[in-house]
Chain A
Amino acid sequence: MKSALLKRDLKLTPEASVSALKDVSFVADRGEAFGIVGRNGSGKSTLLKIISGILKPTSGIVRVNGRIAALIELGAGFHPEITGRENIYINGIMLGLSRREIDSRFDAIVEFSGIGDFIDQPVKTYSSGMYVRLGFAVAVHVDPEILLIDEVLAVGDEEFSQKCIAKIQELKYRGVTLVFVTHQLDQVRMLCDRAMWLDHGEVTSIGDPARVVDDYLQDVSGAMPAPPSPPAAERDPNEEERWGSGEVVLKRVVLTDPKGHELVALGAGTAVVVEMDVDVRVPQDDFVFGIGIYHADGSCVYGTNTDLEGLLPGRLDGPGRVRFMMPSLDLVAGTYRIDAAVHTRNGRAFDYRRGALRFVVGSRVHDIGVYRPKHEWRFDGKIAFREIDNLKRNVPAPMAEYLRENEPKPKKKS
């Protein structure tokens, strides 16, 4: 079963009304996280309200396939005079649960909200933080198939915000389709599979979240917009995607062993280096180098950057080489890609190379997952195995040569 939201040709009649959205058309597939960014007044919330059915489009169609829950405003249905407990029931029923379903989730909701004993106090005695926490707790326990979220993750303290994000990731993992509007661009990058940038009700760019966010940031900071990206369908997923202002360029990104020999295939636990040759066209004093390692299925294995690790940028005046040293890359067999980027601290890209390089980890052990911690088995007592071979020592895949020859050549696009 595929759930899809489809809309097209949203036009309002010209004279008395303001058209909030024009020719907005997109599909969000089941299990996809779809982010919407844009300035205030660009039509993001209107779009969510139209998808949810709160507003009716003047023209165009919306097709929604699945149980939908919209978090336009947390706790919007709460009544201040009655207790949190009673409000959970009413809010849950409003969101489409039955009384019995709420009974079974009640403890989880209270637990998640962290309201504690206040649950039997009237909601009017709650702090605004408690209010939204309870609202969010109810909404995510509704088990929607499609969840629309409007700018609600910005509420609450840091701890609760983390909890919300973890919960959203869990929902996504369970196949819930997410459409969310936010100004927190790192959340779009982190949570979304695709994103859309709305400007004055029109789609300015749509596709890869990192790219969309970057286009948006370039625009906000007044720089030249990046060239339009080709439609997602035409793109070869193995092809490198690259964008950025070009003020600083990652000329060459390669994976080598510690001695500088280039690698494309390796065994688990090998020492590797990501080497980036940097060219500077415009000197910078705000710059961050970042690395992301992704599994072939798109999930992030690891990501970090110099800013996260507390390296304060000094001066970037001319060409140089950045080396990211990993004494032991403990990955399970599979195909991986590395994204390399240089950007400002607020995320505006100078050069972002998604899939800058690809490599294969080979192994004779068919273990699963992505991370292989260094380990061994030990047995005491009356547990005996027959003599095992030396499988636990990984060997580089014999297909290294073959892969090296067949590796697609990265194309320059900037």
Chain B
Amino acid sequence: MNELATLYRYRQLLAALTARDLKARYRGSILGFFWSLANPLLLLGVYTLVFTRFFPQQVVKPYPLFLFAGILPWTFFSAAVLESTNSIAGNAGLIKKVMFPAEALPLVVVLSHLVHFALALPILLVAMGIYAAMGQATISPTIALTPFLMLLQTMFVAGVAMTVASASVLFRDLRDLVTNLMQLGFFITPIIYLIDRIDSRLLRALLRLNPMTPFVVSYQDVLFFGRLPAMSDALLMVAYALVSMIGGIFIFGRLRDTLAEAI
């Protein structure tokens, strides 16, 4: 709890660093923030093409909306975790030369990706509006639950980010490991397919073990299907969020004192 108090004290620092991160990233680039959307939009295009033209029998309709609802939270998770592996080593100057709360670094990464995520949501809403106008989709009041999902997911992502950020200073291999796991993770998370349409019970059970599964499925529920998330998913999300936060704070706390020397 001490750590949380510290973070509260550093809230201005977190806000300032996040703003700096976003400003520095887009200064001098013409398309600015849209670059953060380029990758999900590209994925969206490719998978829409593949699943509506090559394997049209598989899909829920309208497929692009379904895909978008899953890709955005996944991108938030994977980009934030990947980038946080380098957040401490990449800011060695701060850790070694300034009295600086090291936990701020992975959290700033998480917060700035949360901002990207939040800025992408209106695009999804516009797309939903277009499909709704064509009578192919409906906008359900369950989208009001999105902020709660984002809160839980942010807690989950923050815990993972703190863990990999501190651990990757001591174990350099972790960065490459995480990069590869993210590639795998994209496919073992029900983003491009529906988990219910898988025949094998075993495979379904295995996919449920992936902590990102309840998050992505819940986003699809509230944004695409217009229904409440399953109770089991809700409980899992809360559990993952808490375990991840506590674990992240604990691991970071254990490693913090060695960071300045290990970089």
A residues within 8 Å of B by Cβ? 49, 52-56, 68-70, 72-73, 76-77, 79, 81-82, 86, 89-90, 93-95, 98-99, 122
B99 touches A73 (CB 8 A): no
B257 adjacent to chain A (CB < 8 Å): yes
**B261 — nearest CB in chain A belongs to which residue?**
A55
B93 adjacent to chain A (CB < 8 Å): yes
Known: A54-B95, A73-B98. 12 other contacts (CB 8 A): A54-B99, A56-B257, A70-B99, A79-B24, A81-B23, A81-B27, A82-B27, A90-B13, A90-B16, A93-B13, A94-B98, A99-B12
Q: Given the complex, which residues of B lie within 8 Å of A77, measured CB to CB?
A: 93-94, 98, 100
Q: How far, in Å, is B69 (CB) from chain A's closest CB? A: 33
Q: 4 tightest CB-CB pairs across the interface, nearest first? A: A76-B97, A81-B24, A73-B97, A56-B257
B20 touches A72 (CB 8 A): no
B28 adjacent to chain A (CB < 8 Å): yes
| Per-residue interface assignment for chain B, residues 27 to 46, with 1 indicating a CB less than 8 Å from any chain A CB and 0 otherwise | 11000000000000000000
B182 adjacent to chain A (CB < 8 Å): no
B243 adjacent to chain A (CB < 8 Å): no
**A70 — nearest CB in chain B belongs to which residue?**
B99
Q: Given the complex, which residues of A lie within 8 Å of B20, measured CB to CB?
A: 79, 82, 86, 90
A293 to B27, CA, bound (A): 58
A93-B16, A94-B13, A99-B12 given; A54·B257 CB < 8 A: no
Q: Given the complex, which residues of B lie within 8 Å of A49, measured CB to CB?
A: 96, 260
Interface size class of B (residues with CB under 8 A): 20 to 34
Q: Given the complex, which residues of B lie within 8 Å of A68, measured CB to CB?
A: 99
Q: Given the complex, which residues of B lie within 8 Å of A73, measured CB to CB?
A: 93, 97-98
B17 adjacent to chain A (CB < 8 Å): yes
Q: Given the complex, which residues of B lie within 8 Å of A122, measured CB to CB?
A: 27
27 A-B pairs with C-beta separation under 8 A? A49-B96, A53-B99, A54-B96, A55-B260, A55-B261, A56-B257, A69-B99, A70-B99, A72-B96, A73-B93, A73-B97, A76-B93, A76-B97, A77-B94, A77-B98, A77-B100, A81-B23, A82-B24, A89-B16, A90-B16, A90-B20, A93-B13, A95-B98, A98-B12, A99-B12, A99-B16, A122-B27
A198 to B1, CA, bound (A): 40
Q: How far, in Å, is B11 (CB) from chain A's closest CB? A: 10
What's the dominant secondary structure at chain B's contact region?
A: helix
A93 to B11, CA, bound (A): 10
A94 to B104, CA, bound (A): 11
Q: Given the complex, which residues of A lie within 8 Å of B93, measured CB to CB?
A: 73, 76-77
Which of A49, A81, A95 gathers the greatest number of chain B CB atoms within 10 Å?
A81
A82-B24, A98-B12 given; A76·B94 CB < 8 A: yes
A49 to B260, CA, bound (A): 10
Q: How far, in Å, is A140 (CB) from chain B's closest CB? A: 15
Q: How far, in Å, is A18 (CB) from chain B's closest CB? A: 11
A54 touches B260 (CB 8 A): yes
A98 to B260, CA, bound (A): 25
Q: Given the complex, which residues of A lie within 8 Å of B23, measured CB to CB?
A: 81-82, 86
Which of B93, B98, B100 gathers the greatest number of chain A CB atoms within 10 Å?
B98
Q: Given the complex, which residues of B lie within 8 Å of A94, measured CB to CB?
A: 13, 94, 98, 100
A81 to B23, CA, bound (A): 8
Q: How far, in Å, is B161 (CB) from chain A's closest CB? A: 20
Q: Given the complex, which residues of B lie within 8 Å of A95, measured CB to CB?
A: 98-99
A70 touches B27 (CB 8 A): no
Q: Given the complex, which residues of B lie within 8 Å of A79, measured CB to CB?
A: 20, 24
Q: Given the complex, which residues of A lie within 8 Å of B94, measured CB to CB?
A: 76-77, 94
**A81 — nearest CB in chain B belongs to which residue?**
B24
**A87 — nearest CB in chain B belongs to which residue?**
B20
A79-B20, A94-B13, A99-B12 given; A70·B98 CB < 8 A: yes
Q: How far, in Å, is A141 (CB) from chain B's closest CB? A: 16
Q: Tell me which of A53, A69, A72, A90 contacts B97 (CB under 8 A).
A: A72
A70 to B24, CA, bound (A): 26
Q: Tell me which of A52, A82, A89, A99 contacts B99 (CB under 8 A).
A: A52
Q: Given the complex, which residues of A lie within 8 Å of B24, measured CB to CB?
A: 79, 81-82
Q: Tell me which of A56, A72, A81, A98 contacts B98 (CB under 8 A).
A: A72
A95 to B101, CA, bound (A): 11
A95 to B23, CA, bound (A): 21
A94 to B101, CA, bound (A): 9
Q: Given the complex, which residues of A lie within 8 Å of B257, measured CB to CB?
A: 56
Q: Given the complex, which residues of B lie within 8 Å of A52, measured CB to CB?
A: 99
A76 to B95, CA, bound (A): 10
**A73 — nearest CB in chain B belongs to which residue?**
B97
A94 to B207, CA, bound (A): 43
Q: Given the complex, which residues of A lie within 8 Å of B27, measured CB to CB?
A: 81-82, 122
Q: Given the complex, which residues of A lie within 8 Å of B99, measured CB to CB?
A: 52-54, 68-70, 95
A184 to B138, CA, bound (A): 74
Q: How far, in Å, is B29 (CB) from chain A's closest CB? A: 11
Q: Given the complex, which residues of A lie within 8 Å of B260, measured CB to CB?
A: 49, 54-55
List residues 225-263 of chain B with CB under 8 A from any CB of chain A.
257, 260-261
Q: Given the complex, which residues of A lie within 8 Å of B98, measured CB to CB?
A: 54, 70, 72-73, 76-77, 94-95
